[in-house]
Structure 1
Amino acid sequence: MARRRQAVTIKHVAADAGVSLQTVSRVVNKEAGVRPEMAQRVQASIDKLGYVPSIAAQRLGGSRSYLILALNDRERTIADWRARQGTDWVDQMLLGGMLTCAEHGYRLIVELVDTHSDHIERELLAAIAALQPDGVILTPPHSGNPLIINLLAAQGISFARIGSMTPGPGIRLIMDDTRAAQLATDHLIGLGHRRIGFIAGPAEYELSAWRVEGWHAAMAAAGLPTDDLLVAGDFSHASGRAAAHQLMALPNAPTAIIASNDQMTLATLEHLRERRVAVPGELSLISFDDTPIIRLAHPSITAIAQPIAEVTARAVSLIIADLGERSAGQEPIVVPAKLMVRNSTFPLGDVAGQGVPVSGFDLA
């Protein structure tokens, strides 16, 4: 039976170079205070032995853990997993976060936390004590939770807050949801639509209000009414069906609908089919998120594509650069979304419902 090859450790490097473990750690972590000739000797041993630094070795320096902790909404994430509805938001967060962490020798760890839990403070402190992360990424709705924000600030941890404008410490990054909703609404207005319904997300998410504001602003600028065209959902499929039913039951039903996430959009499409309302022949439909199922739907759905991977990558880079304390009070960093025009939107009066060509528009 073949023997397993013994892994090269930091101890092997230290012995080969004739230096202490701490010296190897400082060279690995690119810390100051190591003489050039000593650093060259250690690097030569690393190259000769084929040593790959581990987190344990990197931690010997004592200043960093080389871990970034991302906190996501437990209840909603688990519900989507169990329903097998997919969590593209989480996938894109991992894509941007993990790749950027790897570029800097870091690891990304994801924890699910329920914002409404009575034990949230205990859960967070336990996770921080166990992992000792160098930084934390907060996603909605955690990014706007004062309890979480103040707890991390008190711990002296650099952290980024995605999708939050709530005042306070932390690096704030947004995808300009207000302007995104304006762009989606303007697109429909440009196609001749005047009755444009909007299905909002839950109030606990700051971005829900921003999207409503963008829709309101675009409608107001065009002199169009909105009184009976706004319905609240909660990002679930069921709430999307209920909202679509409410809108289509109006005496003067909308000719276009914008839904605040893909699950509610798919539910709206399902309800419209049951009512034998053709999309795009009789009603135009726009979604937020732009998950794969939206692109593969029939018809393919016009959507706001959120740059989640890019935002998370920026968050990781800023945390590693240790900008947390200096970011308090600064303007949020904006990473613009795009409107991807597909086959679910059409000019009002175009009975053939041919729609418009596929394209993308930056919000920058």
Structure 2
Amino acid sequence: MRTPRDRGVPGAGGTSTINDVARLAGVSIKTVSRVMNNEPNVRPETRDKVQEAATLLHYRPNLLARSLAGARSFLIGLFYDNPNAAYITDMQRGVITRAREQGYHLLIEPQDSHAPDLVSKISSLLATIRLDGVILTPPLCDMAVVLHAIEAAGVPYVRVSPFLNPGRSPCVRMDETQAAYEMTRHLIAMGHKDIGFIRGHPEHGGSHQRYEGFVRALRESQIEPRPEWVKQGYFSYESGVEAGRALFAEKTRPTAVFSSNDYMAFGVMASAQQVGIRIPEDVSITGFDDVPGAMLVWPHVTTIRQPVEALAYAAADILLTRQEGEEGECAPQAPDRLLPFALIERQSVRKA
């Protein structure tokens, strides 16, 4: 097969331009631009010719040029304040996967939700960098001042797992209350009636939803939660250790402990082992999220698998699907998306 250089194709010997692709495909520059931007209303055969020409010429659209040529920047932002490294890694992976399908790039912006200049920083960022959309994770997604700043800038946004004002914007989530309910029912089905609970960070809405599911499952089985067996955690390993020490120092101990995330479950396991409490022979321990570490500790942790990467992909999909509409068109709000979870049974639980 003859190469573009053999055919004397302009641009084949150096850096190719959009003009070279248009000439080789026999179409207009505007058509090439529409294909490169994944815009609708291009005939399949025309799209195929343009993509073949771009491949032959090794053409890659220039992000700055694309941005200057239209109303889009081809950038979406991910704003987060979360110490869970596995959560953030999965969130980034999901957004990037969907963004690349559409020719977009991701701007990652960690934030401090307690910083006094949080709002001014976000407002300044949005004024400086033109983003086509923003994805917010807890707790930022539930902060009214953050939402107002983004709305004032006129930037579309999608929230991941919001707790407050669910109808304010499109959102993606899993049913955290139901997930915690099913985990508690699992422990009850294994014969456990004396169940402790480690609450998550109070500023995260999911913490309250998980505790709600826990309490509902207990009460449906005529079991009242015991306040001395409910300890406050902060979604960190250290807070799990501290909560576990307090729990195991009680005169009577539960036969099972449900931690609101896996990192706290690891901490509870460490505190149990420090005082000679065996897992699962003396106490069963469960977590929530299914981070990679759940398979690295022993015993492996029974947990709820939260579809973080899929949530991120769905959030990016909502933003990018909105961008597919014609420029200037007022797009209706996308429906919320509810994704499934899974209860993963491992070796940290045994029958009471």
Deviations 1:120-153 (A, max 9, x none): 2221123223331111110111111111112222
Deviations 1:227-255 (A, max 9, x none): 32211111122211221122222222100
Mapped contact 2:77–2:134 kept (Cα < 8 A): yes
In the alignment, the residues of structure 2 paired with residue 188 and residue 22 of structure 1 have an alpha-carbon distance, to the nearest angstrom, of 61
Partner in structure 2 of residue 130 of structure 1: 128
Letter in 2 for 1:255: T
Change (3 A) 1:301 1:13: same
Shift of 1:71: 0.7
Deviations 1:317-337 (A, max 9, x none): 111111896338x6x421121
Deviations 1:287-322 (A, max 9, x none): 112111111211111011110000110111111111
Partner in structure 2 of residue 249 of structure 1: 249
TM-score between the two structures when normalised by the length of structure 1: 0.83
Change (3 A) 1:49 1:225: same
What does 1:186-335 align with in structure 2 at a 5 Å threshold? 186-228=185-227, 229-322=229-322, 326-327=332-333, 332-335=336-339
Give secondary structure in 1 for the equivalent of 2:273: helix
Partner in structure 2 of residue 112 of structure 1: 110
Unmatched runs of 5 consecutive residues or more in structure 1? 81-86, 349-364
Partner in structure 1 of residue 4 of structure 2: none
In the alignment, the residues of structure 1 paired with residue 129 and residue 107 of structure 2 have an alpha-carbon distance, to the nearest angstrom, of 9
Partner in structure 2 of residue 83 of structure 1: none
Mapped contact 2:123–2:153 kept (Cα < 8 A): no
In the alignment, the residues of structure 2 paired with residue 6 and residue 346 of structure 1 have an alpha-carbon distance, to the nearest angstrom, of 66
In the alignment, the residues of structure 1 paired with residue 320 and residue 112 of structure 2 have an alpha-carbon distance, to the nearest angstrom, of 26
What does 1:84-163 align with in structure 2 at a 5 Å threshold? 87-163=85-161
Seq. identity, %: 33
Mapped contact 1:158–1:325 kept (Cα < 8 A): no
1:72 aligns with 2:80: yes
In the alignment, the residues of structure 1 paired with residue 49 and residue 272 of structure 2 have an alpha-carbon distance, to the nearest angstrom, of 70
1:53 aligns with 2:76: no
Pairwise CA RMSD: 2.7
Mapped contact 1:28–1:58 kept (Cα < 8 A): no
Aligned residues: 332
Instruction: Name whichever of 292-301 and 5-14 sits farther off.
Output: 5-14
Partner in structure 1 of residue 327 of structure 2: none
In the alignment, the residues of structure 2 paired with residue 34 and residue 205 of structure 1 have an alpha-carbon distance, to the nearest angstrom, of 45
Mapped contact 1:279–1:344 kept (Cα < 8 A): yes
TM-score between the two structures when normalised by the length of structure 2: 0.85
Mapped contact 2:163–2:206 kept (Cα < 8 A): no
In the alignment, the residues of structure 1 paired with residue 163 and residue 94 of structure 2 have an alpha-carbon distance, to the nearest angstrom, of 22
Letter in 1 for 2:75: L
Mapped contact 1:68–1:133 kept (Cα < 8 A): yes
Instruction: Name whichever of 212-221 and 50-59 sits farther off.
Output: 50-59
Shift of 1:193: 0.5
In the alignment, the residues of structure 2 paired with residue 34 and residue 223 of structure 1 have an alpha-carbon distance, to the nearest angstrom, of 62
In the alignment, the residues of structure 1 paired with residue 312 and residue 129 of structure 2 have an alpha-carbon distance, to the nearest angstrom, of 20
In the alignment, the residues of structure 2 paired with residue 288 and residue 294 of structure 1 have an alpha-carbon distance, to the nearest angstrom, of 10
Mapped contact 1:170–1:325 kept (Cα < 8 A): no
Give secondary structure in 2 for the equivalent of 1:327: coil
In the alignment, the residues of structure 1 paired with residue 56 and residue 303 of structure 2 have an alpha-carbon distance, to the nearest angstrom, of 52
Unmatched runs of 5 consecutive residues or more in structure 2? 1-12, 324-329
Instruction: Name whichever of 50-59 and 26-35 sits farther off.
Output: 26-35
Give secondary structure in 2 for the equivalent of 1:321: helix
Letter in 1 for 2:175: D
Change (3 A) 1:107 1:236: same
In the alignment, the residues of structure 2 paired with residue 40 and residue 92 of structure 1 have an alpha-carbon distance, to the nearest angstrom, of 33
Shift of 1:221: 0.5
Shift of 1:9: 3.2
Mapped contact 2:314–2:337 kept (Cα < 8 A): no
Shift of 1:41: 7.8
Shift of 1:18: 9.0
Mapped contact 1:137–1:162 kept (Cα < 8 A): yes
Partner in structure 2 of residue 177 of structure 1: 176
1:342 aligns with 2:341: no
Give secondary structure in 2 for the equivalent of 1:224: coil
Deviations 1:90-115 (A, max 9, x none): 11112211111111111122110111
